[in-house]
Structure 1
Amino acid sequence: MYFEKGLVIGKKQTITFIVLCALVAMLKYSLLPFCLLMLFIPASRFASKKSKAVNAVLSIVIPVAAAAGLYAVTTFLITATGAGSGSALTEGGVNLMGANVGAQLHYMLGSLTTTVSVFLRSFVENTYYITQLFSFGWLSYGPPEVFIYLYIGFLMLVGFLYSKYEHGAARIEDTKMAFANRLGVFIVIALGYVLVNLLLYLTWTPVGAGLIQGVQARYFIPLLLFLPFFSRNVHPVLSEGEVTRMHINVQFVAFAFVILVFMHTLFAYY
């Protein structure tokens, strides 16, 4: 929708986007910022500026309402039926971990300065979840950290230098992402990152704790999808069926990393 200059975004595209955003938001509240993406599509792709404004507002309001409605319904059912009172983390409906959404929210609003410091400290100190990449399960076997940082560097190289956009059989030379839209993508990623921490602070972290708990690397995987769009130029891929040495190299390096990590884990622990 961003690059197709001949496309006029109508009801079909808008409804599809809204439905997808609503489903994603209901499955994972931390992905709600994805609903903002329509704001960064050029107005020329719509019938008018008013049409873009209406579609953008609907793409935000409807998924938010769907997520809020699902939360209200599930909360009501859990409260009414007493479901979860027998889980390993609860006893009589009280979370044994010390987490309580209502109490945590009251504490957060009553001491905003302390809450901000907790979030800043967590952003700096909670880097351990980076090392969870390639781990076989939570707190399970994993590779040396050097493999992880090397692979992150590889992903950044692919995302920034080899960004690709396929435009059917046509070739678009020098396809550009406007700075404002790249900034918008960064805001979406930042909001997603903050929202993950906020949700875990409210639902998993003990009331008044000085560090956000429960953060795991897998929660941030969807945010990696936007890395290529930080590049100023999003170049087209080659024509269908054309294979270059670069494609082979990228696939080989990714496959080699996975095999290397697997073999190291196998020999180190078994």
Structure 2
Amino acid sequence: MKENKKNRKYIIICLSLWLVFCISLLVSYKEEWTVFINEQHIVYHEGINENGKTKKLNEGDSLIQKFKADYSEMTGIALKMNAESVKKCVVKVKLISEEDNKCIQSWKQDLGEVKNNNYYNFTLKKTLKNTKNNKYIVQIDVLKTEGKAAYINLYNREDGSHTTLLCNNKKMKGVISYQIENGIHIALKKYAFAFFVGTAICFSGMLFGCLKKKKIEKLFVFSAAVIGIMYIFAISPFSVPDESRHFATAYAQSSSITGKQTLDAEGRVIMNSSIWTQGQDPTRDSYIEAVNGMTGHYEKGKNISTIPPLNGPYYFAYIPQVIGLVCARMIGLNPIQIVYAGRISALLIYCLIMYLAIKIMPYKKSMLYVIGMLPMTLQQVMSYSYDSTLIDLSFLMFAILVNQITREEGDIDKKIWVVFVVSMVIVATIKFVYLPMWGLILFVSSGTKRKKIKKYIGCAVGIIMSGGVILLSKIGTIQAAVQTGTAAVDASAEKVSLSYCLQNPKLSIEIVWRTLERMSSDYLEQLVGTSLGRLNISIPVIILVGFVAILFISMLEVKNENIHIPRTVRYWSIFSILIVGGMVLASMFLGWTPIGSNMIQGVQGRYFLPVLPLVGVIYNNKTIVLEKRLDNYLMIICVFLNCYTLYFVILSGVIKEALG
């Protein structure tokens, strides 16, 4: 009877949350998605920067603009003309094939009927196919004008563009801004349907798991895999901080493994141009590119030189992503599929590692579930950032060390020592500031004196090996911190150095204090993930409150659970968090902040993710305890909050200007 009552609660909660989510999705689809689905899909745009020159459209003028197609299909063209104050301006627009001088289609338009300073669309009756590298002419003949003349602003040509503009057979210094269209955003319907199905699978799977009493680690793998894949497609490739540089490094490693050419003569990574989209934010066009690419429709490119890979011994930092890239390239996937294969591989390896971590965690398993499902955690682990490997190892070692601390006295297994030393060395090559957390091994009960000596020897080996790696790989960083130079955030300004801090101790302390005082709330938002992408995808604060609430509850002790954490472990955890936080601030202060700044620049909340589980160890008291376990409720709410986070991420991409 009691069990049936609990099951009914799960069903009611899941269905209620699912209904609320579906209402939001339905309303936004009808009122917002459909508007943008029916907008023209722009596949090319030339003319972004005005050159300050204009040309009036006088009666009898004839303008001819020649351009070369860099796309496979087109359904229309849009020309930017200013007719805000025009009474009448009748123009005839022709699209002509330059190869045979054949008129493809012509349009007659009175610009005065639609007074604007924007693009006028000219839609083709029949889609032009196989247009790549073909040359076309747009001819604008001004037939009749009344009153104030319309005019066009001239724009600079794009780099490498062959576009030219003639007015009455005279070459102009600039071009008309134009856009090439290829249908409407119909693929967004597939995207919306896939999102709906994904969230439905997630809710129904969690409900099934709760009713069948599945273990937390299994529910984590299911929910993280489903929601993580939705994050992969919601947050477009290279929209995570520095992801393009990380991708170039991982791609270079995959090229070496597969025997392909890796770098050009100048040390830049060589890859297919269809892969490389440096600095792309989520937009409706990027979503369409993902749908088309994953279904085999993409613009075939050629090999190009991009950017140099990261300098340093990052041989193990990209293992999760490189596995996916190598497999995808070996089986012959297309360029878009290759990009997503690396992300999916990183996510699946994260799910496997978290399965092991939660399984061996002796208590507070739901805390590790919630931390592992935070939006910022999922964003980083599914990206090409080396944060993926860093977070994997940090969470796994945390669980292993807590497991060892809470067990009966005995020798530490050799396998654990291998994982301990190897993980220390890998983390040292990525970001050594997180190594203090590995010091928890000092508090593992050893029993006999001989076992204690073995423990200290193992610690010494890890410290020596990771210390050597730090000295070899980070010596340039250390030297840069001591010396003066330009700041990363502002190349024109001199950066703060160690000598500057020693000469201005009072000012340095004030800057640190002001940073903590005024930026702590921002760091919390970024830590949870209400500022995703390049911190330019904002999520409502109410979602932040929800995640913080369930995270706090997951850290509470459960009545009659007798797991003893020594006080010294809690003290070391506090020490580790303070040291890690201090080193993060110091590294950004000495390597990123320009002299004259009143706060430390470049610090992001995600930098504190690897040590977040330590907060659960610190919060270990009997003042506030749970009468019973709330794991299933916390997991269901966590899934609900993630679905809403994805909802706002995708919505912001759909309504964002594709080129804005």
Taking structure 2 as the reference length, the TM-score comes to 0.32
1:190 aligns with 2:578: yes
- Which residue among 26, 37, 51 is the counterpart of 2:454? 51
1:37 aligns with 2:428: no
Report the CA distance shift for 1:130/1:74 in structure 2 as closer, same or farther (over 3 A).
closer
Indicate the residue corresponding to 2:531 in structure 1.
135
Q: CA deviation at 1:226?
A: 1.9
Q: Distance in 2 between matches of 1:19 and 1:99?
A: 38
Q: Which has the larger radius of gyration?
A: 2
Indicate the residue corresponding to 1:252 in structure 2.
636
Q: Distance in 1 between matches of 2:473 and 2:512?
A: 27
Q: Distance in 1 between matches of 2:550 and 2:590?
A: 34
Task: Tell whether the 8 Å contact from 1:98 to 1:206 is kept in structure 2 after alignment.
Answer: yes
Task: Tell whether the 8 Å contact from 2:537 to 2:652 is kept in structure 1 after alignment.
Answer: no
Q: Distance in 1 between matches of 2:558 and 2:638?
A: 14
After superposition, give the CA deviation of every residue in 1:191-246 in whole Å (9 maximum; x if it has no partner). 1111111111111111353310111121111111223222437xxxxxxxxxx983
1:23 aligns with 2:426: yes
> Which runs of structure 2 are paired with 1:96-175 in the superposition (5 Å)?
96=491, 98=493, 100=495, 104-127=497-520, 128-132=522-526, 133-161=529-557, 174-175=562-563
Q: Distance in 1 between matches of 2:578 and 2:601?
A: 19
Task: Tell whether the 8 Å contact from 1:99 to 1:204 is kept in structure 2 after alignment.
Answer: no
Q: CA deviation at 1:65?
A: 2.7
Q: Distance in 2 between matches of 1:212 and 1:17?
A: 33
Q: CA deviation at 1:26?
A: 1.5
**SS where residue 542 of structure 2 aligns?**
helix
Q: Distance in 2 between matches of 1:183 and 1:215?
A: 25
Report the CA distance shift for 1:248/1:99 in structure 2 as closer, same or farther (over 3 A).
farther
**SS where residue 2 of structure 1 aligns?**
helix
Q: CA deviation at 1:71?
A: 1.2
Q: CA deviation at 1:99?
A: 5.4
- 2:513 is aligned with what amino acid? L
- 2:632 is aligned with what amino acid? I
Q: CA deviation at 1:23?
A: 0.9
Task: Tell whether the 8 Å contact from 2:406 to 2:565 is kept in structure 1 after alignment.
Answer: no
Task: Tell whether the 8 Å contact from 1:21 to 1:35 is kept in structure 2 after alignment.
Answer: yes
* Runs of at least 5 residues in structure 2 that lack an aligned partner in the other structure: 1-403, 481-487, 622-627, 656-660
Q: Distance in 2 between matches of 1:191 and 1:7?
A: 30
Task: Tell whether the 8 Å contact from 1:97 to 1:204 is kept in structure 2 after alignment.
Answer: no
Q: CA deviation at 1:48?
A: 3.7
After superposition, give the CA deviation of every residue in 1:163-197 in whole Å (9 maximum; x if it has no partner). 9xxxxxxxx95120011211111111111111111
Report the CA distance shift for 1:228/1:74 in structure 2 as closer, same or farther (over 3 A).
closer
**SS where residue 447 of structure 2 aligns?**
helix
Report the CA distance shift for 1:125/1:70 in structure 2 as closer, same or farther (over 3 A).
same
Task: Tell whether the 8 Å contact from 2:530 to 2:543 is kept in structure 1 after alignment.
Answer: no
- 1:205 is aligned with what amino acid? T
Q: CA deviation at 1:55?
A: 3.2
**SS where residue 537 of structure 2 aligns?**
coil
- Which residue among 441, 449, 468 is the counterpart of 1:65? 468
1:181 aligns with 2:569: yes
Would you say how many aligned residue pairs link Structure 1 and Structure 2? 236
Q: CA deviation at 1:138?
A: 1.4
Q: CA deviation at 1:268?
A: 6.2
- 2:584 is aligned with what amino acid? V
Q: Which has the higher strand share?
A: 2
After superposition, give the CA deviation of every residue in 1:100-126 in whole Å (9 maximum; x if it has no partner). 4xx611101222232222212211112
Taking structure 1 as the reference length, the TM-score comes to 0.74
- Which residue among 200, 211, 223 is the counterpart of 2:588? 200
Q: CA deviation at 1:70?
A: 0.8
Report the CA distance shift for 1:150/1:45 in structure 2 as closer, same or farther (over 3 A).
farther
Indicate the residue corresponding to 2:165 in structure 1.
none
Report the CA distance shift for 1:161/1:268 in structure 2 as closer, same or farther (over 3 A).
farther
Q: Distance in 2 between matches of 1:106 and 1:251?
A: 49
After superposition, give the CA deviation of every residue in 1:134-157 in whole Å (9 maximum; x if it has no partner). 333113221122321331121121
Q: Distance in 1 between matches of 2:634 and 2:449?
A: 36
Report the CA distance shift for 1:66/1:53 in structure 2 as closer, same or farther (over 3 A).
same
1:218 aligns with 2:600: no
- 1:256 is aligned with what amino acid? F
- 2:594 is aligned with what amino acid? P
Task: Tell whether the 8 Å contact from 2:530 to 2:540 is kept in structure 1 after alignment.
Answer: no
Report the CA distance shift for 1:71/1:267 in structure 2 as closer, same or farther (over 3 A).
closer
- Identity, % of aligned pairs? 21
